Structures are given as C-alpha cells and as structure tokens.
Amino acid sequence: MKSHRLLSLAAVLAPVFSAATLLAWDAPGHRIVNRFALSSLPPDFPDFVRAPAAVERIAFLAGEPDRWSHASDLSLKHYNWPDHYLDIEQLPDAGLDPATLPSFRYEFVAAFAAARVAHADKFPPIDPAKDPDRTRRWPGFLPWTVTESFGKLKTAFSSLKVYRELGTPAEITNAEEDVIYLMGTMGHYVGDMTEPLHTTVQHDGWTGPNPRGYYTGKGFHTWIDSGLIAKAGIRIEDVAPRMTAAQPLSLAPRPDGRDPVFVAMVDFIVEQNKLVEPLYQLDLDHKLGRGDIAVAPEGRALIEQQLAKGGELLGGLWLTAWRSAPPDTYLRSVLIKRQLEKTPAAAPVSK
C-alpha cells in the first residue's frame, strides 16, 4: 500500500513561490486556486495527485475551461461560455427563487425559458448582431457545471478504486490520469464561483438604476480579475496563511430530492453575490486602485479572502468525491469475468 502523507503547503506551492508570483483570476489565478486546494487535502486523499508532475498538470488544467470559453468556434462558445457564471438577479426577474432551483440542468433551462417569456417586461429584446453565440438569453449555469463536474470526478474515483483492485498497471495509470484531468478542470469553475462578478448582472460596470454612482465603465471585470492583483503585488505567500484544511460536504439526501452538492453550490454563489455591491462601493471609495491610486488594504484583503475561499471549497469537493465514491460494481464484474477467462483450465489428468 502506498504511504499517504499530507503535502505541506510549502511543498505544493514551492514551484510558484517567487517574488514575481502574482495572483489573478485569469489563468495564473485559477492555477493558484487549484494549488491551494491541493494543499488543503488530508492524508487519506490518494497520493498520486501530489507527484510534482500531477501538481503541475492540475494547475495547468485550471485554465482549460477558459480556453474553451474563448474559442472562436461558436458551437463550443455557446455551450461553454454560460458555464462560467450565474447572474443571480435574473432569477427573481424571471419569477424564480434561487432556493428552489432544480438541480437538473435541462429542467432549469426549460423553466427559465418559460419564465423569461412570462416576464418579458424584465428582459429587453436581444440584438442578434450582438449575440452571435446565442448565449445572452441565459443567466449562466455555473452551479450546474460544478455539480456535474463533481459527479464526473466521483465516477472517476469509482473506476479507480476497482482498477486498483483488479486492473493492469496501465489501466490504473489511465484511471489516475482521468482523476487528474477532472480535478484540474473542475477547479476552474470553483475559482469562478469565488469571483463576485461571476455571480451578477453587474459583471462589468454597473447597469440600471445607480443612485450611489457606482463605476459604469467597461473593464471593471478585468480590473478585478487581474489588474488589481498585479498592482497590489499580491503574492501566494500572502494568501497562504488564510487557508484551512478541506472539509467534506454533506451528501445527506434532501427532502426535496435535489442534489445536495448543487444546493451547496447555489448557496455559496448567493453568498458571493452579496459581495458585489461592497466591491463597487470599495471602488467608489478609491480602495481598489483603479486609475492613478494605490490599492488599499481593504481591497487587497477582499481578493485574498476570495482566493483562499476558492481553494478551501475546491479541496472539500475533491475530498468528498474521493470519500463518497463507491467502487464501480459493473466494472468490477467485467474485470472479474476477464480474470476468470484468463485463468487456464485445469490440465486433464494423464493416465
């Protein structure tokens, strides 16, 4: 049996510790959320994810979903772009309650499409010329994406547990590669969940009634994603002390039958959405460093807190997937049958 050990934070982060290392929710930032999540895992999590090549691969894959969302192929963009956000405010506008959203994606799609028609006054017509990928009619699918990603990872662990018992070395390696791939790509979306501007219609400059005079210019999203972090010089070491050990999520069945992971993700997004207006207020108070001013400690603290939060949540999801994955019984029966077929029949007794 492989020895398990808790990889220290320093060991996981060592390859990215440098004075020049800055955090952001662009590709480098997503890498770091994944690395933080790795550092939060307890000793009973499989050790192969701690190999240096696996750590680097998981960090690299944190950027993969953005490579899909920025693709020039409209079919891919149509499918993937809304996976990265949920504009919460569109739900009540459509007469939907975040507390009762269906955890099945296509049930939600049908419900939202119907609700949008029924509340047409809240949804101005979309200019087709500005909507080539046909995504503007959707509020985003981020909590569904994370829940489905969790399910994919859990099934990969279910297979791995059986291959470890009955598979060939090559099959075990392949099953581990699947786990690494799914952990890495899932991490991107969890990172998106902690960026308040991925939870709101106010995602790039304030729109609509604006009595306080929040910033309305485009580029605000990019400033929060990366500009502020670079200007503040936030380093991984600054955020590391905020990290805590991954905590498993409860998978207890719910009376309403909805997926408990989905409900936890929606609840989490609702909480991050509460930071949207404080974020714009910080900007109004000149705390976010936009323009010719320095980033104030309050602005810096908010970003550090969100990055640490992403790592903790992701670690908790990975841990829950590992611990809760049952061995794949179908795969097990196939591999046992294969083993029996390989066993040579007893040689006839010679007279």
The tokens of 313 are what? 């949540």
Distance CA 123, CA 117 (A): 9
178 interacts with Zn ion by CB under 5 A: no
Q: Which of residues 289-348 bind Zn ion (CB under 5 A)?
A: none
Asked whether 23 and 194 are in contact (CB, 8 A), the reply is: no
* Smallest distance, Zn ion to C-beta of residue 117, A: 29
* Smallest distance, Zn ion to C-beta of residue 266, A: 18
Q: Which of residues 141-170 bind Zn ion (CB under 5 A)?
A: none
203 interacts with Zn ion by CB under 5 A: no
Distance CA 121, CA 118 (A): 8
8-state DSSP, 312: H
Phi (first) and psi of residue 128, to 5 degrees: -55, -30
- Spell out, one character per residue from 76 to 95, where the chain touches Zn ion: x when CB under 5 A holds, - when not: --------x-----------
* Smallest distance, Zn ion to C-beta of residue 322, A: 24
Of 56-64, 124-132, 185-193, 279-287: span binding Zn ion (CB under 5 A) = 185-193
- CA distances 347 to 98, 171, 324, 337, Å, are 67, 31, 44, 20
Q: Which of residues 28-87 bind Zn ion (CB under 5 A)?
A: 84
* Smallest distance, Zn ion to C-beta of residue 18, A: 25
Distance CA 156, CA 280 (A): 41
Residue closer to Zn ion (CB basis): 225 or 271: 225
- What type of residue sits at position 74? L
Residue closer to Zn ion (CB basis): 87 or 192: 192
Distance CA 138, CA 97 (A): 16
* Smallest distance, Zn ion to C-beta of residue 272, A: 14
Tell me how many residues contact Zn ion (CB under 5 A): 2
Binding site for Zn ion (CB under 5 A): 84, 192
